[in-house]
Amino acid sequence: MPAAFRTNDAGHLEIDGRDVVSLAEEFGAPLWVISESTLRDNYRRLRDAFHRVYPATEVLYATKANPQPAIIAALLDEGAMVDAVTLGHLKLILRGGGTPDRIVFNGNSKTEEELRFALDRQVAVINVDSLEELQQIAELQPRTAPVPQPLCLRIAVDNTRLMAEDPELAKSDWLGKFGMDPADAMAATEIALSHPGLALAGLHNHLGFSAYGTPYSPRLDVLRHERCVEQTLDVARSIREEHGHRLAILNMGGGYRVGNPSGYGPGALTEFPTADDYAMAVAGTAKELCVEWDLGTPRLILEAGGYLVTDAVALVARVGVKKTRRAGGEEREWASIENTSGYHFVRRLMFRFHHEVVVANRMNDAADTRVSISGPICADDDVADEALLPELRRGDLIAILDNGSYCEAVTSDYCAVPIPPAVMVSEGRAALTRRRETADDIVARFDVPEWLTA
């Protein structure tokens, strides 16, 4: 667990100086608890590792991982930029205190409304996903704009070049939806360079976390990042050679993870690259190739989401009924949690994502019982499979760890189970950052045609 997560003298889980039992009494359970200090620690660790290798690095927070304005505000305060994928993201960033000059606008299917919003406010960079999108931007942006809008072209690398050394990764995004192949990127370059209201600032690529459906190891993770940098900069070299234009930005996306010694992600992985390993793979490779290929010193941008927030959030839930299932001479202990389940962090259900579970009100008790934990949904909604814990009692509080990225962001109210609230804790303080949804809130979203109510 992160340094901010500890067992206090009462034997309770404490996060950033707040007893989790007292948080549940004050705010209720289920409840997401956000550790502000862990967010900041993660940001500084990644930033410092990259700065040691490539000082011209800027760490950006990928809002899609968790769009809480409170999280955005804390990372903005650290100096982070922020990325958005939709108009909703743009407005959540503004709610968190972000300004357009700190926003990178991502996404592969931006609407005209979204593009006008970004162009009118002149966000720091728009990452352009396709040739057609660039043509639309060129039509929307006045050629007489007083300040050109910076753009980065998202590159879809030719994964066939990876087949010999990493065939699984090469096939994982075969003809996928993101980015432009080099031919379209060169056509987009000509349009951007000929438009006085646009500035071709750089290239963008995003490997993402490569443990979904592909073999994973720290060595492969590092290798995949190196190859992604190489193929992206190969396009930058073509742009310099054909147009004499050196790019000012290299945005290499994210895919970094802190990991958890107790298991993380699909397959409960226990070994991950360090921040220094990622820095050498991405920044070190970029530094070498920029010198070798005469590409100058572009500003390196990282889109870190999971690395910054995954282990900074826990979902706290109260234990309800228990039972034993017996079949074929075997038996399994089940414990239910109240008003929450795997559907509140559906990545668990989609990828069998592992989340460590601890008993927050009995941290010092011996873990001597195997128990599976589920929620109240009328479908498989387990949060832990045969976890080794103290024997659970009704009313116990469990904390489901590593709940910061792609959990609240993709939560569901399936079976009309209200979405939990969230609090941020910092140096003993706690503040509500997302209000608790109720069954009445769910009902209020719907209407019935009047001919059915006559």
Choose the final residue of a domain: 287, 309, 331: 309
Q: Does residue 220 share a domain with residue 303? A: yes
- Note the pLDDT tens digit of each residue in 22-79: 999 999 999 999 999 999 999 999 999 999 999 999 999 999 999 999 999 999 999 9
Beta strands 357-359 and 265-266, pairing class? unpaired
Spatial contact of 383 and 420, defined as CB atoms under 8 Å apart: no
Same domain, 304 and 433: no
What is the model's pLDDT at position 174? 59
- Cα 108–Cα 113–Cα 116 angle in degrees, nearest 5: 95
Q: How far is CA 280 from CA 162, 255, 296, 373, in A?
A: 20, 15, 18, 40
Does the pLDDT at position 268 exceed 80? yes
In a domain, 451, yes or no: no
Stronger pLDDT, 177 or 335, i.e. the higher one: 335
41 shares its domain with 147: yes
**Same domain, yes or no: 170 and 106:** yes
Percent of the chain with pLDDT over 90: 83
Q: How confident is the model at residue 168 (pLDDT cuts 50, 70, 90)?
A: low
Residue 175, pLDDT score: 64
What sign does the CA torsion over 438, 439, 442, 444 have?
A: negative
Q: Say whether both 242 and 386 belong to one domain.
A: no
CATH number at residue 127: 3.20.20.10
What integer best gives the mean pLDDT of the chain? 93
> Cβ(35)–Cβ(16) under 8 Å?
yes
Q: Are residues 343 and 224 both part of a single domain? A: no
* Mean pLDDT, residues 209-227 taken together: 84
Q: What is the pLDDT of residue 350?
A: 83
Q: What pTM, to 2 d.p., does this model score?
A: 0.94
Same domain for 319 and 437: yes
Residue 158: the pLDDT is 66
**Residue 41: its pLDDT value, please?**
98
User: Does position 163 have pLDDT exceeding 60, yes or no?
Assistant: no
Place of tokens 């569901």: 412
- Residues 330, 284: one domain? no
Calpha distance 236→153 (Å, rounded)? 10
Within 8 A by CB and 6+ apart from 79, the residues are: 47
Q: Give CA–CA dist 383/278, Å, rounded.
A: 30
* Location of structure tokens 């609230």: 421
Q: Which domain holds residue 183?
A: 36-309
Does residue 142 share a domain with residue 216? yes
pLDDT digits (tens, 9 = 90+) for 79-96: 999 999 999 999 999 999
The answer to whether residue 232 sits within a structural domain is: yes
The answer to whether residue 15 is domain-embedded is yes
Give the span between the Cα atoms of 60 and 103, in whole angstroms: 9
Q: pLDDT digits over 376-427, tens only? A: 998 888 899 999 999 999 999 999 999 999 999 999 999 999 999 999 999 9
User: Mean per-residue pLDDT for 1-11?
Assistant: 95
The answer to the question of residue 81 being in a domain is: yes
CB count within 10 Å of CB 146 equals 7
Instruction: Tell me, yes or no, whether 452 lies in a domain.
Output: no
CATH number at residue 374: 2.40.37.10
In the structure, what pLDDT confidence band is assigned to residue 164 with cuts at 50, 70 and 90? low
Has residue 398 been placed in a domain?
yes
> CA 369 → CA 263, 331, 332, 333, distances in Å?
18, 13, 11, 9
Residue 363 is assigned to a structural domain of this protein: yes
Domain tally for the chain? 2
237 and 344 co-located in one domain: no
Q: Are residues 226 and 363 in the same domain?
A: no
In this structure, the number of other CB atoms found within 10 A of the CB of residue 39 comes to: 29
Give the Cα separation of 301 and 252 in Å (integer): 6
Last residue of a domain, one of 278, 309, 340: 309
395 — alpha (psi -120 to 50), left (phi > 0) or beta? Answer: left
Question: Facing residues of 267 across strands?
Answer: none
The verdict on 296 and 383 lying in the same domain is no
Would you say 68 and 422 are in contact if contact means Cβ atoms under 8 Å apart?
yes
Of 250, 277, 309, the residue at which a domain comes to its end is 309
- For residue 392, being part of any structural domain is answered with yes
In Å, what is the CA distance from 191 to each residue of 200, 330, 390?
Answer: 9, 67, 64
CB 95 within 8 A of CB 118: no
Q: pLDDT (tens digit, 9 = 90+) per residue, 307-361?
A: 999 999 999 999 999 999 999 888 999 999 999 999 999 888 888 889 999 999 9
